[in-house]
Chain A
Amino acid sequence: MTDFMLFLPELFFILGALLFFIFSLRKSPNPAGFHRWAVVLSAVGLLITVASSHQEGMLFFNCYRVDLFSQIFKVLLALGTVWVMFSSSELKGIDSRQHAEYYFLIFVCTLAMMMLVSSVELLTIYVSMELSSYSLYLLVPMRRGEDRYFESGVKYFMIGVTSSGFMIFGISLLFGVGHTTYVPQLIKALPAVIHQPAAIVGLVLTLAGFFFKLALFPFHIWAPDVYQGASNQVTTYIATVSKMAAAAMIIRFAGLSGGASPGLVKLLIVLSIASMTFGNLVALIQKDLKRLLAYSSIAHAGYILIGILTLNSQGFASAIYYAAAYLVMNYSVFMVIMKVADDGHNLQIKELAGLYKRSPLLAMTFMLGLFGLAGIPPTAGFTGKFLVFAAAVHKGYLFLAIIGMVNATISLYYYLIVFKAAYLLKPVKEYPAIAVDMWTRVMSIVLVVMTIYLGLFPDQVVSLTEAAARTLF
């Protein structure tokens, strides 16, 4: 019975997915009804996940560990899913006949990621990872409209399959040097053999699979096209929820080396610097808002990696905090995009002109989201950067903090350009005021309060993330 309770959030999402599977068999689709179901189900899912957040235990022949680390990420995954479901009220980018499938796939994907963050056995990890990936491969090309959107789906699929091929190869190498597929035993076995090339290569290739998910340079090539090509809701899901799972898994695997591998650390440092710099520099010239956010996400992957590459619990804690902050800020921005582009088209930066007049509340949510991403206090994004850089400097990587801050300054330029469009520019043509319903109002205020609260009062969350990071060792 207790085992059953440990698996409750996942079970609930399985049931939700089944329900939408049955809905998808119906002949006459009912989009509004589906949306209501999706919001209610995901909200209940979130409540269940929060309620079971303090559980601990092992399941399925010790393949599956429920601890504070996994539960924090499950809460983040469920929270992101609720938010995406909430914003799916006007799912104009996807044919209404496919709405049930859309919800089905999102639920399956969230389920897979929840299983991913709890898995502590390499093959379980691989299977969960593939389940989530295949859901996304199907979600991306669902967008109706031109063929070039379909192209991005194919691109995502091809690159994704290749990276998962590398990953399974890496896993096989890890098994070869560690003689086990269980992560807790690998943690004990690997530090002794970490100097063997096979161990390093295995670890790096396995990490590459997750780097692909996080869109870290040089595994980022899919991101701009997929962000632009997928419907706004699916992009939001990829940009928020799926990043959480990727960050969690990178943290788990980086911990495998036991913190005693200068080669690995050097590699991660290079990747982190390249990712920040490349993402920010290319973002400077973007015109399409979703493309810009794709490049900004590449840069943010670099910031998260700074926390992770310290390979100690302080750094992992800071990375968890950064991931949580990133979820809130990025969703703030995407929620506004989905509201402004309510017919589901790709929003250009200049179309934001006059947003502050069309809806002051949305403009404020948008502004705080942007400033959060830029790392300006008193937002959660600033505190996240502060913690990540503090962990790096504490470990002796002062130059990483300087490079990170210089990058933050570069990124400020394009965030300010977007901010300027929303607050300063006069619209070329008259746009109508945006209808903001009561729920969106509530959601905006919740996001604004969360952004500032996490930024100014990080104490409780920081101690929570530190407790979570300690369970990894």
Chain B
Amino acid sequence: MTAMNMAGFPILTTILMTTIIGLLVIIFIPPEKTKLIKQVSLVSASLGLALCLWLYHAYDFHKGGLQFVERVLWVKSLGIYWFNGVDGINLPMMLLTSVVLFTGVWTMWELEHRVKEFYALIFLLVAGVYGVFMSMDLFWIFVWYDVSLFPMYPLIAIWGGTRKEYGAMKLTLYLLAGSAFILPAILFLWAKGGGHTFDLFMLQKIGFSVFDQKVAFLMLYLGFGILAAVWPFHTWSPVGHVAAPTAVSMIHAGVLMKLGAYGVLRIGMTLCPQGAVYWSHLMALLGTIGIIYGALAGLAQTDLKYVIGYSSVSHMGIVGLGLATLSVNGINGAVFQMFAHGIMTALFFSAVGFIYDRTHTKVIPELGGLSKTMPIASSFFIFAALAGIGVPLMASFWAEFLVLTAAVKVFPVAGILATSGMILSALFMLRVVQRTFYGEKNPKWEHIPDVSMFLTVPRVVLMSCILFFGLFPKVMLDVIQSTVIPFVTRF
């Protein structure tokens, strides 16, 4: 830790610290003071949100590039740096993380079972997510990546629902099997780069032979692809979502799955551009299959959470397809879709979580006519479904539009198939909405109270996020584009 290279106030480390300090404070609060634990969690999550909003505001997209850089030598002999920074790609992701954490903590306000451990684990998980998004050093990206994965096991296995222990074990093993490819790939790139730096941009400057790029990119794509629920490695995802408690589903589908796509983009496509070109057809193929398969599988489900789980597979396919185009619009759209999908699934799971807490079922045929008894809760779900279909004025509309136009240009067949997949996805979303919220009213649910004012807040925050970026996509696209345009020149 000799060469100090700190430009001003370390805002990114501070954002990371809000979660770690929150975690430490929670550990020292006695477990029976649940109210205090929730308040501390909310304060620390809001602090993170405020800092991320400020960061987003302060980022100068005219200048572009890496800003708010912090760089300290960490382990001298291997060349590991504590190296954080934001650019147009990870800035939206940081914002997404803070929004989902904030709303997730608020959504779980009614939790009673082992409250202390729940919030402690949530903060550990989110510390990992923040860490991955802000780090520009391969060692730290991997460390934070693993830190964000293993809390999923207790979170699902203790507080989960349907087949929780099976779902938790499957998810954890699948995701950590992904790291079995990622770590060797990272070490491979490090060794090929001379073995004295893990700094992403120094490695980018060194450059690698085309063969090495092909090998490394494939390993990174497989490793991170598992987390991004790329077909055929998606099977953990619906099972895990169904088993997980509400806030965990929100954070998991909303943020964690983005880590996978982000990893492919940040490490794979940055360090191995030629590898990405070589494997782009595979990526497009798997992305397209994911879109269509997710939609078809979603069509057949009777469990609300399974429906959303498969819709996530479908939507993450769009991200994969966008990245595969290797074009400005495609990658813009992919990053935007990561953000939009994150907010949207968070809203989905948040709405389903509420319905499930009250009715103790998420089987679609047992519900029905909910819009009459729980109009507010239903409206959240329907709003999310509209966003999922990609109705104009929603953030996801722009994202899907960008990806599909780029895809049709680069991969005409895949693009057209993917576009038709969107129709399928509209079909299954509307089917779910129709069966769950309209139609015959189930008298069993008549006396169930609707969402209280207090608990609407997080859902309204998510809805306004979707609408805001749907109405003003430029606010986000300007930022993303500032980084993507120089990025694609390398392909």
Binds B, one of A11-19, A189-197, A219-227, A389-397: A389-397
Question: Please, which residues of chain A bring their CB within 8 A of the CB of B158?
Answer: 423-424
* Distance in angstroms between the alpha carbons of A458 and B176 in the assembled complex: 23
B3-24 at interface with A (beta carbon < 8 Å): none
Question: Please, which residues of chain A bring their CB within 8 A of the CB of B191?
Answer: 390, 393-394, 396
Question: Please, which residues of chain A bring their CB within 8 A of the CB of B485?
Answer: none
Question: Please, which residues of chain B bring their CB within 8 A of the CB of A406?
Answer: 177, 180
* Distance in angstroms between the alpha carbons of A339 and B453 in the assembled complex: 49
Q: Does B173 contact A (CB under 8 A)?
A: yes
Check A462–B173 contact: CB distance below 8 A: no
B159-180 at interface with A (beta carbon < 8 Å): 165, 169, 172-173, 176-177, 179-180
- If over half of B's interface residues share one DSSP class (helix, strand or loop), that class is named, otherwise mixed; here it is helix
Check B77–A462 contact: CB distance below 8 A: yes
* Distance in angstroms between the alpha carbons of A412 and B78 in the assembled complex: 27
Q: Does B413 contact A (CB under 8 A)?
A: no
Q: Does A171 contact B (CB under 8 A)?
A: no
* Distance in angstroms between the alpha carbons of A466 and B177 in the assembled complex: 31
Question: Please, which residues of chain A bring their CB within 8 A of the CB of B143?
Answer: 377-378, 382
Partner of A466, one of B77, B139, B179: B77
Q: Does B53 contact A (CB under 8 A)?
A: no
Partner of B177, one of A386, A394, A409: A409
* Distance in angstroms between the alpha carbons of A413 and B169 in the assembled complex: 8
Question: How does the 8 Å CB contact mask read for B177-203 relative to A, with 1 for contact and 0 for none?
Answer: 101110110011011000100000000
A139-170 at interface with B (beta carbon < 8 Å): none
Question: How does the 8 Å CB contact mask read for A405-430 relative to B, with 1 for contact and 0 for none?
Answer: 11011001100100110011000000
The total number of A-B Cβ pairs within 8 Å is 87
Among residues of B, the one whose C-beta sits closest to the C-beta of A390 is: B187
Q: Does A120 contact B (CB under 8 A)?
A: no
Check B74–A377 contact: CB distance below 8 A: no
Asked if A389 meets B75 with Cβ closer than 8 Å, knowing A412-B172, A412-B176, A413-B173, the reply is: no
Q: Does B208 contact A (CB under 8 A)?
A: no
Check A402–B1 contact: CB distance below 8 A: no
Q: Does A398 contact B (CB under 8 A)?
A: yes
* Distance in angstroms between the alpha carbons of A2 and B237 in the assembled complex: 66
Check A409–B77 contact: CB distance below 8 A: no
Partner of B150, one of A371, A405, A420, A462: A371
Chain A interfacial residues counted at CB < 8 A: 31
Among residues of A, the one whose C-beta sits closest to the C-beta of B78 is: A390
Asked if A389 meets B74 with Cβ closer than 8 Å, knowing A377-B143, A378-B143, A412-B173, the reply is: no
Q: Does A123 contact B (CB under 8 A)?
A: no
A339-353 at interface with B (beta carbon < 8 Å): none
Among residues of A, the one whose C-beta sits closest to the C-beta of B143 is: A377
Check B179–A405 contact: CB distance below 8 A: yes
Check A409–B150 contact: CB distance below 8 A: no
Q: Does B146 contact A (CB under 8 A)?
A: yes
Q: A75 → chain B, closest Cβ, in Å?
A: 20
Asked if A389 meets B190 with Cβ closer than 8 Å, knowing A376-B150, A406-B177, A463-B76, the reply is: no
Check A394–B150 contact: CB distance below 8 A: no
Asked if A405 meets B183 with Cβ closer than 8 Å, knowing A412-B176, A416-B153, the reply is: yes
Check B188–A398 contact: CB distance below 8 A: yes
Check A390–B179 contact: CB distance below 8 A: no
Question: Please, which residues of chain B bring their CB within 8 A of the CB of A389?
Answer: 183-184, 187
Check B172–A402 contact: CB distance below 8 A: no
Question: How does the 8 Å CB contact mask read for A205-233 relative to B, with 1 for contact and 0 for none?
Answer: 00000000000000000000000000000
Question: Please, which residues of chain A bring their CB within 8 A of the CB of B78?
Answer: 387, 390, 462
Question: Please, which residues of chain B bring their CB within 8 A of the CB of A393?
Answer: 184, 187-188, 190-191
Asked if A390 meets B190 with Cβ closer than 8 Å, knowing A402-B184, A409-B173, A423-B154, the reply is: yes
Most A Cβ at <10 Å: residue of B77, B142, B173: B77
* Distance in angstroms between the alpha carbons of A401 and B191 in the assembled complex: 12
Question: Please, which residues of chain B bring their CB within 8 A of the CB of A437?
Answer: none
* Distance in angstroms between the alpha carbons of A307 and B39 in the assembled complex: 47
Partner of A458, one of B75, B146, B188: B75
Among residues of B, the one whose C-beta sits closest to the C-beta of A375 is: B146
Q: B218 → chain A, closest Cβ, in Å?
A: 12
* Distance in angstroms between the alpha carbons of A394 and B194 in the assembled complex: 9
Question: Please, which residues of chain A bring their CB within 8 A of the CB of B165?
Answer: 420, 424
Q: Does B147 contact A (CB under 8 A)?
A: yes
Q: Does A3 contact B (CB under 8 A)?
A: no
Question: Please, which residues of chain A bring their CB within 8 A of the CB of B195?
Answer: 390, 394
B365-397 at interface with A (beta carbon < 8 Å): none
Check A377–B146 contact: CB distance below 8 A: yes
Question: How does the 8 Å CB contact mask read for B119-150 relative to A, with 1 for contact and 0 for none?
Answer: 00000000000000000000100111011001
Q: Does B157 contact A (CB under 8 A)?
A: yes
Question: Please, which residues of chain B bring their CB within 8 A of the CB of A423?
Answer: 154, 158
* Distance in angstroms between the alpha carbons of A424 and B158 in the assembled complex: 6
Check A402–B180 contact: CB distance below 8 A: yes
* Distance in angstroms between the alpha carbons of A408 and B158 in the assembled complex: 24
Check B139–A386 contact: CB distance below 8 A: yes
Check A401–B76 contact: CB distance below 8 A: no
Question: Please, which residues of chain B bring their CB within 8 A of the CB of A459?
Answer: 1, 74-76
- 27 example contacts (A-B, Cβ-Cβ < 8 A) are as follows A376-B150, A377-B142, A377-B144, A382-B143, A382-B146, A386-B139, A386-B183, A389-B183, A390-B187, A393-B187, A393-B188, A396-B191, A401-B188, A402-B181, A405-B184, A408-B176, A409-B173, A409-B177, A412-B176, A416-B172, A419-B154, A423-B158, A424-B157, A459-B1, A459-B75, A459-B76, A466-B77
Binding site for A on B (CB under 8 A): 1, 74-78, 139, 142-144, 146-147, 150, 153-154, 157-158, 165, 169, 172-173, 176-177, 179-181, 183-184, 187-188, 190-191, 195
What 8 A-B pairs come out closest when comparing CB atoms? A405-B180, A393-B187, A401-B184, A377-B143, A394-B191, A459-B75, A402-B184, A409-B177
Binding site for B on A (CB under 8 A): 371, 376-378, 382, 386-387, 389-390, 393-394, 396, 398, 401-402, 405-406, 408-409, 412-413, 416, 419-420, 423-424, 458-459, 462-463, 466
7 new A-B pairs (CB below 8 Å) besides A394-B187, A409-B177? A393-B187, A396-B191, A401-B184, A413-B173, A420-B165, A459-B75, A463-B77
